[in-house]
Chain A
Amino acid sequence: MTAHKQTNLKPRMNDQQEEFFLDGHNPAGTHEPLDFALETQFAEQDHGEAPVQENLLFDREYSENPSNSPQIDLDGMSKPIHQVTVKQYETTQNLAFQHANNLLESLEAQDVAVQYQCREGYCGSCRVQLLEGEVHYIDEPMAWVNSDEVLPCCCIPKTAIRIKLP
C-alpha cells in the first residue's frame, strides 16, 4: 500500500461523510457531485511473480469430479498422510491418503476404480471392507454399513488403513 494513496482518500471521505444520503437527495442544497473515490487514480498493481500456489486454489465445488481433485500438497504444512493398503482380488496396492476430501476421491486419484453412485453416503454403492485401522466419518453415512465395512465416499482415514475392495 502506498502512502500517498491513503492521504488522498482520507480527508475526502471525512469531509463528505455528513452529506451522504442514500436516496441522492441533498437537503442542504449543495449540488456538488458526490465523489466517494470508489476508483483511485492508481491502477492496481500487478504482483507479477507473487507466490500464489496453484495447489492452494483447490476448490471444493469441483470436488465431485475426480480429475479435478488431485490430492493436494500444502507447502510448509505437516501432511496427515496415512498409508492405505488396498486389497483387490489377489493384488495388494500400497497407496497414500493425503489431503483429499474423502477416501473415495483419494483412491480415484490413485487410479483405483471403486464403485460409486451417490457419493454422499446414502446409497452404499462404494462400501469396502476395512481390515485394519480406523476412519473418521465427515458425514454420518445413511446407507447400511456392516460392522466391518466403511463407505469411502464420506470418510477419511484416522490411521494407516488396510481395505479390501469387493
Chain B
Amino acid sequence: MSYTTFNQNSFDTLKQPMFFGETVNVARYDIQKHKIFENLIEKQLSFFWRPEEVDLANDRKDFNDLLDHEKHIFLSNLKYQTLLDSVQGRSPNVAFLPIVSLPELETWIETWSFSETIHSRSYTHIMRNVVPNPAEVFDDITRNDFITRRAVSVTKYYDELIEKCSFYTQLGEGTHTINGKIVDINLYDLKRTLYLTMVSVNVLEAIRFYVSFACSFAFAERAKMEGNAKIIKLIARDEALHLTGTQHILQIMAAGKDDPVMGEIAASCKEEVREIFLEAANQEKEWAGYLFKDGSMLGLNQTILAQYVEYITDQRIVALGLPPIFETKNNPLPWINSWLNSDNVQVAPQEAEISSYLVGALDSAVDTNDFGDFDL
C-alpha cells in the first residue's frame, strides 16, 4: 500500500474500516459509516473562537501582583499546555491522516487538530499580555527537565506509529532491513500501535490538561487572572469534545464491528491501557509536586491536586469500559465543574464578558464608583 492523495479505486466507503482500509478519495458526507464524526465536526465548528476576543488587560496587573511561587505555578502550567497543544496541533494530522479510510473521520481529525492550533495561538496571546518577554517563557519549554520528561510519554506512541506507518506505506508488510536495522512490519502490529496511540491521545486530552485547568480556575476563584481563565474555559470546552471524539474512536474499535481485528486488539491490550493511564496519572501527580515546590496557592495544594488527578483518571478509564484504578469516591474539587462549564453564567451579553458572546474589546475595568448612582 502506498499513500495517494486521491485514491482512483472505486470502492464502497461504507465497507471500509476507520483506519487501514482504502485511502479516502472523495470527501463526501452524503453517506456516512459513523455519523458521530460529522456531529463532532459541526459542534467543533460552532465552538469557533479567537484568542484576541478575550481581553487580558487586567491579567497583566494581576500577574505582577502574584507572589513569586504563584508566578511559577502560572507560567509552568502555561508552558506545559503549550507543549501539549504543540503536539496536538500537528500529530493527529501527521499520524492519522495517512491511514484513515473514512471521509467523515478524516475531516474530524483535521477539524480537531485545527482547533488545537487556536489553543497554541491563545498561549502566545496570554504570554504577550502578561509577561514583558514571552520568548524567555517559550524558550524554557525545551530546556525545562520537568516538561521534557513528560513530553516523551506524550509523543512516544505518536512517533512510533508515524515511523511504522511510513515503512508500511513505502515497503508494505514483511521483514525489512532499514539502515542496517531489521524491522518487522505487519498490519496487526500497526493496528495495535494505533490503538495504543489513540489511548495515549485520550489520556493527553482527558487527564494531562486538567491539572493546568484546575490551577487556572483556582486563580480565577480568587478573582485573579480571570482573562486567562476565560481562555482556559474555551480550551476546556474544545478538549471535552476532543475527548468525546477519542472515546468514540476507541469504543468503535473495541466493539470490533468496524474492524474485527481491532476488537481483538482492544480486548488483548487492557493491561497496557491501564499502564498508560497509570503512568500519566503518576506523572501528573509528580508535576503537581513541581508546581507547588515553593509553596501552595489558596484553595489548591499538592495533595488535593493529586486526589483530583486520581479522580479524573478513574472517570476517564471507566468511560472506556475498564475498571477504575484508584477507586476514588468523589470529586475533591467540586467547584471546578462550574468553571469547566463554559456557559454557566447566564447574563445579558452586553453586561458581561461571557465566553459564548464572541466580540472583542470589552471594558473589563469596573470600579465601585461606577455603581454610585445605582439604586435598588
- Please list the residues of chain A having a beta carbon within 8 angstroms of any beta carbon in chain B: 61-62, 64-65, 89, 113, 115-119, 122-125, 127, 142-144, 146, 166
Contacts of B315 in A (CB 8 A): 115, 125, 166
Contacts of A89 in B (CB 8 A): 329
Chain B positions 217 through 260: 1 when the CB is less than 8 Å from some CB of chain A, otherwise 0: 00000000000000000001100110110011001000000000
Which of B240, B319, B331 is the one whose CB lies under 8 Å from A122?
A: B240
Q: Is the CB of A123 within 8 A of B240?
A: yes
Q: Is the CB of A119 within 8 A of B319?
A: no
Q: Is the CB of A122 within 8 A of B241?
A: yes
Contacts of A127 in B (CB 8 A): 319
- Identity of the chain B residue whose Cβ is nearest the Cβ of A62 in the assembled complex: B346
Asked if B337 CB lies within 8 Å of chain A CBs, one says yes
Distance between A165 CB and nearest chain B CB, rounded to angstroms:
10
Chain B positions 309 through 331: 1 when the CB is less than 8 Å from some CB of chain A, otherwise 0: 00000010011010000000111
- Identity of the chain B residue whose Cβ is nearest the Cβ of A117 in the assembled complex: B340
- Identity of the chain A residue whose Cβ is nearest the Cβ of B40 in the assembled complex: A142
Q: Is the CB of B39 within 8 A of A142?
A: yes
Known: A61-B346, A166-B318. A115 touches B331 (CB 8 A): yes
Q: Is the CB of B36 within 8 A of A146?
A: no
Asked if B132 CB lies within 8 Å of chain A CBs, one says no
Q: A124-B243, A124-B247 are in contact. List 10 more A-B contacts (CB 8 A).
A: A61-B346, A64-B341, A64-B346, A113-B334, A117-B240, A119-B341, A123-B241, A125-B337, A142-B40, A143-B247
Asked if B169 CB lies within 8 Å of chain A CBs, one says no
- Identity of the chain B residue whose Cβ is nearest the Cβ of A127 in the assembled complex: B319
Q: Is the CB of A116 within 8 A of B319?
A: no
Q: How far is the CA of A73 from the CA of B209 in the complex (A)?
A: 42
Q: Is the CB of B344 within 8 A of A144?
A: no
Asked if B159 CB lies within 8 Å of chain A CBs, one says no
Q: How far is the CA of A116 from the CA of B315 in the complex (A)?
A: 12
Q: Is the CB of A142 within 8 A of B244?
A: yes
Asked if B15 CB lies within 8 Å of chain A CBs, one says no
Contacts of A115 in B (CB 8 A): 315, 331, 337
Interface size on B, residues (CB 8 A): 29
Q: Is the CB of B244 within 8 A of A122?
A: yes
Contacts of B319 in A (CB 8 A): 124, 127, 144
Asked if B28 CB lies within 8 Å of chain A CBs, one says no
Q: How far is the CA of A113 from the CA of B331 in the complex (A)?
A: 10
- The residue in B39, B236, B319 that gathers the most chain A C-beta atoms within 10 A of its C-beta is B319
Distance between A124 CB and nearest chain B CB, rounded to angstroms:
6
**Please, could you name 18 A-B residue pairs with CB atoms under 8 Å apart, sorted by A?**
A64-B344, A65-B344, A65-B346, A89-B329, A116-B337, A116-B341, A117-B236, A117-B340, A118-B341, A118-B342, A122-B240, A122-B244, A123-B241, A124-B247, A125-B315, A143-B247, A144-B244, A144-B319
Distance between A95 CB and nearest chain B CB, rounded to angstroms:
19
Contacts of A117 in B (CB 8 A): 236, 240, 337, 340-341
Contacts of B52 in A (CB 8 A): none
Q: How far is the CA of A117 from the CA of B244 in the complex (A)?
A: 12
Q: Is the CB of B343 within 8 A of A64?
A: yes
Contacts of A146 in B (CB 8 A): 321
> Which 7 residue pairs spanning A and B have beta carbons closest together?
A123-B240, A144-B247, A117-B340, A143-B244, A144-B251, A62-B346, A144-B248
Contacts of A123 in B (CB 8 A): 240-241, 243-244
Q: How far is the CA of A118 from the CA of B355 in the complex (A)?
A: 13
- Identity of the chain A residue whose Cβ is nearest the Cβ of B339 in the assembled complex: A117
- Identity of the chain A residue whose Cβ is nearest the Cβ of B328 in the assembled complex: A166
Contacts of B43 in A (CB 8 A): 122, 142
Q: How far is the CA of A119 from the CA of B341 in the complex (A)?
A: 7
Contacts of A142 in B (CB 8 A): 36, 39-40, 43, 244
Contacts of A143 in B (CB 8 A): 244, 247
Contacts of B344 in A (CB 8 A): 64-65, 119
Question: B335-352: which have CB < 8 Å to A?
Answer: 337, 340-346
- The residue in B39, B237, B346 that gathers the most chain A C-beta atoms within 10 A of its C-beta is B346
Q: How far is the CA of A142 from the CA of B331 in the complex (A)?
A: 24
Q: How far is the CA of A58 from the CA of B140 in the complex (A)?
A: 53
Contacts of B329 in A (CB 8 A): 89
- Identity of the chain B residue whose Cβ is nearest the Cβ of A166 in the assembled complex: B318
Contacts of B343 in A (CB 8 A): 64
